[in-house]
């Protein structure tokens, strides 16, 4: 058994067995994360993550993706250097007159390494990782406004509790003052009217405090929920990155095609941070004239209500301060916008249609991009013998469609281009063969020449003081020319005729003008000029 075929078998096994898993290995991201001593998160099953834990997990995944990028670039540089050295070795072996099998085996090894590099160091994976890193940065920025820290989070909890307690106290005091006013049938005294004004003032304070309390409770809930939302977003990002990385993997069915391409390789040596406060930052103050003298119990209870209302306002102000600059309303939408973008690699073919004319030899190409190499290019329909495909192999980025000058049937033919992904992507190029002028208009042309010949026969025109008579006008045997037998008087004119001037005079004559106008409308008049040829009986008529 020869060594070279054995080397081919070894190369095929290497291609089939050495394809690297493109999925970035993470430490099985679970439901919570605990930082290790060196600061790297250690995902493990448990309760949903806190916001700090989720941010640590996002940063860990980002660092893993960045390290994978660095590793791929480093491996690519090493492979490039190795291939250059191997190429130099082949040149040295050839120059030194080494055995042919040794040169071929070394070249094939270089081709195999190149193919492995193409499979395992696909530049598209760097783009996928970059898109993943960008999405992770987006997700971390979205929740950053809610990462308020332990001290501020505790301050918000305390302020919320105090406002809730103050609301309860004010409601009790208001109820007590209302009970005293209810004992008075027609309040009219200044102190009685002042008590009524105090109730209105308190109601406004309670309404504004309730709004602030709801905003604080919503913010607290959003902060508590942010960790879980960020965790879910990071997991979705990793899933999309994994899917996109797998999409770059060559399907096993393409390995024979890769092996077939090795010869070519051997020879040849990519929430918002600001916030408008949900509630007004200040509470309006309402003055109440103090009563000169209160009815028994009324003044005392009104004073108590005033004091508790002022305390409520003070606590609300503190609650507003604890929420300042933190906006939870945009976080969910901002996280939804953090997607892995630009990692789809659709198979494209440009242009999607090529047009040829039968019997006119030509070669036209199309460019293949995207998808997963190697590509396949084949005719979907049975091509006529005059039509053929030129494609240099699965890793080429272009193909040529060639048409010879041989006769072919006009019509539409389809070429199918496929990649090596699983499932396989395909595109089609339409090859349109148009009938040539001799096929499409031969009968019309013959008819035009016949009609024109009849109109010109026996016609006499005058040009440059020379009278010219057409004795007979007949189409040529191939129906491409109109031959005019003409004579001129005088037989030897002083100024010889110019053929173009005579053609114009003939076609503009009264007898022929209607037919000329029809040809002009069909944009055939210029062609007709060139089809008229003269056969003069007097050799000295024309220049």
| The residue to which tokens 């006119």 are assigned | 360
Specify which of 84-93, 408-417, 462-471, 516-525 reaches the highest per-range mean pLDDT.
408-417
- If DSSP codes are grouped into helix, strand and coil, which group holds residue 174? helix
pLDDT, tens digit, for every residue of 383-419?
Answer: 999 999 999 887 889 999 999 988 888 899 999 999 9
* Confidence band for 286, pLDDT divided at 50, 70 and 90: very low
What is the distance in angstroms between the CA of the first residue and the CA of the last residue of the chain? 80
- If DSSP codes are grouped into helix, strand and coil, which group holds residue 294? coil
What is the structure's pLDDT at 95?
79
Distance CA 511, CA 361 (A): 42
Could you tell me which residue, 289 or 334, shows the higher pLDDT?
Answer: 334
The phi and psi torsions of 388 (rounded to 5 degrees) equal -150, 165
* Confidence band for 2, pLDDT divided at 50, 70 and 90: very low
On the question of pLDDT at 281 being above 60, the answer is no
What is the structure's pLDDT at 41?
47
Which one, of 244, 252, 242, lies nearest residue 270 by Cα?
244
What average pLDDT does the segment 274-284 reach? 28
Cross-strand bridge partners of residue 472: 485
* Confidence band for 235, pLDDT divided at 50, 70 and 90: confident
Say if CB 275 and CB 326 are below 8 A apart: yes
Which one, of 53, 50, 25, lies nearest residue 39 by Cα?
53
State percent of the chain over pLDDT 90. 18
Q: Which two tokens stand for residue 43?
A: 């995902």
Distance CA 497, CA 531 (A): 18
What average pLDDT does the segment 363-372 reach? 92
What is the structure's pLDDT at 76?
79
What is the structure's pLDDT at 27?
59
Least confident of 73-87, 139-153, 409-423: 73-87
On the question of pLDDT at 175 being above 80, the answer is yes
What is the structure's pLDDT at 150?
80
What average pLDDT does the segment 536-541 reach? 82
On the question of pLDDT at 29 being above 50, the answer is no
Q: Would you say the C-alpha torsion 110, 115, 116, 121 has a positive or negative sign?
A: positive
What is the structure's pLDDT at 168?
93
Say if CB 346 and CB 372 are below 8 A apart: no
What average pLDDT does the segment 28-55 reach? 57
Say if CB 488 and CB 541 are below 8 A apart: yes
Say if CB 69 and CB 134 are below 8 A apart: no
Helical H segments across 96-189, by residue range:
100-120, 123-143, 150-182
**Chain centre distance of CA 395:** 23
**Chain centre distance of CA 262:** 32
State percent of the chain over pLDDT 70. 77
* Confidence band for 155, pLDDT divided at 50, 70 and 90: confident
Whole-number mean pLDDT of the chain? 77
What is the structure's pLDDT at 441?
53
**Letter string b/e over residues 32-59, b meaning 16 or more CB atoms within 10 A of that residue's CB:** bbeeeeeeebebeeeeebbbebbbbbbb
What is the structure's pLDDT at 379?
93
Which one, of 507, 524, 526, 528, lies nearest residue 516 by Cα?
507
Q: Which two tokens stand for residue 220?
A: 């607290």
Could you tell me which residue, 200 or 3, shows the higher pLDDT?
Answer: 200
What average pLDDT does the segment 364-375 reach? 91
**Letter string b/e over residues 102-140, b meaning 16 or more CB atoms within 10 A of that residue's CB:** ebbbbbbbbbbbbbbbbbbbbebbbbbbbbbbbbbebbb
Distance CA 31, CA 228 (A): 9
Distance CA 38, CA 477 (A): 96
What average pLDDT does the segment 130-156 reach? 86
What is the structure's pLDDT at 300?
85
What is the structure's pLDDT at 23?
67
pLDDT, tens digit, for every residue of 9-24?
Answer: 444 444 444 455 666 7
What is the structure's pLDDT at 31?
38
The phi and psi torsions of 246 (rounded to 5 degrees) equal -65, -30
pLDDT, tens digit, for every residue of 468-509?
Answer: 888 888 888 877 788 989 888 888 888 888 888 888 888 888
Could you tell me which residue, 328 or 160, shows the higher pLDDT?
Answer: 160
* Confidence band for 210, pLDDT divided at 50, 70 and 90: very high
Distance CA 506, CA 332 (A): 84
Distance CA 459, CA 453 (A): 10
Least confident of 41-55, 68-82, 123-137, 517-531: 41-55
On the question of pLDDT at 229 being above 60, the answer is yes
Cross-strand bridge partners of residue 414: 430
Q: What is the 3-state secondary structure (H, E, C) of 90-109?
A: HHHHHHCCCCHHHHHHHHHH
* Confidence band for 96, pLDDT divided at 50, 70 and 90: confident
Is the pTM here over 0.95, yes or no?
no
Say if CB 213 and CB 322 are below 8 A apart: no
* Confidence band for 269, pLDDT divided at 50, 70 and 90: very low
pLDDT, tens digit, for every residue of 422-445?
Answer: 788 999 999 999 987 544 455 566
What is the structure's pLDDT at 4?
42
* Confidence band for 302, pLDDT divided at 50, 70 and 90: confident
Residue 330 CB-density burial (10 A; 0-12 exposed, 13-18 middle, 19+ buried): middle
């Amino acid at each position: 058994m020869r060594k070279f075929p054995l080397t081919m078998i070894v190369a095929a096994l290497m291609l089939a067995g050495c394809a690297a898993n493109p999925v970035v290995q993470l430490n099985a991201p679970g439901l919570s994360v605990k930082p290790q001593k060196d600061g790297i998160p250690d995902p493990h099953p448990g309760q949903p993550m806190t916001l700090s834990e989720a941010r640590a997990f996002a940063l860990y995944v980002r660092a893993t993706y960045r390290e994978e990028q660095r590793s791929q670039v480093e491996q690519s540089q090493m492979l490039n250097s190795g291939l250059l050295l191997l190429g130099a070795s082949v040149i040295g072996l050839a120059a030194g007159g080494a055995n042919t099998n040794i040169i071929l085996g070394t070249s094939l090894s270089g081709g195999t390494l190149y193919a492995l590099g193409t499979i395992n160091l696909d530049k598209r994976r760097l783009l996928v990782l970059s898109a993943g890193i960008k999405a992770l940065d987006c997700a971390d920025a979205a929740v950053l406004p809610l990462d308020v820290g332990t001290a501020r989070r505790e301050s918000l909890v305390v302020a919320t509790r105090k406002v809730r307690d103050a609301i309860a106290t004010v409601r009790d005091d208001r109820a007590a003052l209302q009970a005293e006013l209810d004992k008075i049938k027609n309040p009219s005294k200044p102190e009685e009217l002042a008590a009524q004004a105090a109730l209105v003032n308190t109601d406004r304070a309670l309404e504004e405090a309730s709004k602030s309390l709801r905003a604080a409770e919503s913010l607290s809930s959003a902060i508590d929920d942010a960790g879980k939302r960020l965790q879910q977003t990071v997991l979705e990002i990793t899933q999309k990155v994994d899917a996109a990385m797998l999409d770059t993997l060559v399907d096993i069915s393409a390995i024979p095609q890769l092996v077939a391409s090795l010869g070519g390789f051997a020879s040849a040596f990519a929430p918002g941070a600001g916030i408008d406060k949900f509630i007004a930052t200040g509470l309006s103050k309402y003055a109440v004239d103090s009563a000169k003298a209160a009815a028994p119990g009324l003044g005392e209870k009104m004073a108590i209500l005033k004091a508790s209302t002022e305390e409520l306002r003070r606590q609300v102000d503190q609650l507003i301060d604890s929420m300042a600059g933190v906006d939870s309303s945009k976080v969910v939408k901002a996280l939804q916008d953090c997607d892995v973008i630009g990692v789809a690699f659709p198979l494209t073919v440009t242009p999607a249609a090529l047009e040829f004319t039968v019997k006119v030899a030509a070669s036209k190409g199309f460019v293949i991009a995207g998808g997963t190499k190697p590509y396949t290019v084949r005719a979907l329909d049975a091509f006529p013998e005059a039509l053929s495909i030129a494609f240099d192999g699965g890793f080429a980025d272009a193909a040529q469609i060639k048409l010879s000058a041989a006769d072919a049937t006009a019509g539409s033919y389809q070429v199918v281009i496929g990649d090596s992904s699983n499932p396989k992507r395909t595109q089609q190029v339409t090859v349109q063969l148009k009938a040539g002028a001799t096929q499409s208009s031969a009968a019309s042309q013959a008819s035009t020449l016949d009609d024109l010949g009849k109109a010109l026969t026996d016609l006499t025109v005058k040009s440059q003081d020379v009278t010219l008579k057409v004795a007979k006008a007949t189409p040529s045997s191939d129906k491409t020319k109109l031959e005019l037998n003409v004579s001129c008087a005088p037989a030897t004119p002083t100024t010889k005729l110019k053929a173009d001037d005579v053609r114009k005079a003939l076609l503009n004559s009264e007898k022929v003008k209607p037919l000329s106008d029809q040809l002009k409308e069909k944009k055939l008049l210029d062609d007709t000029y060139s089809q008229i040829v003269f056969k003069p009986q007097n050799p000295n008529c024309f220049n």
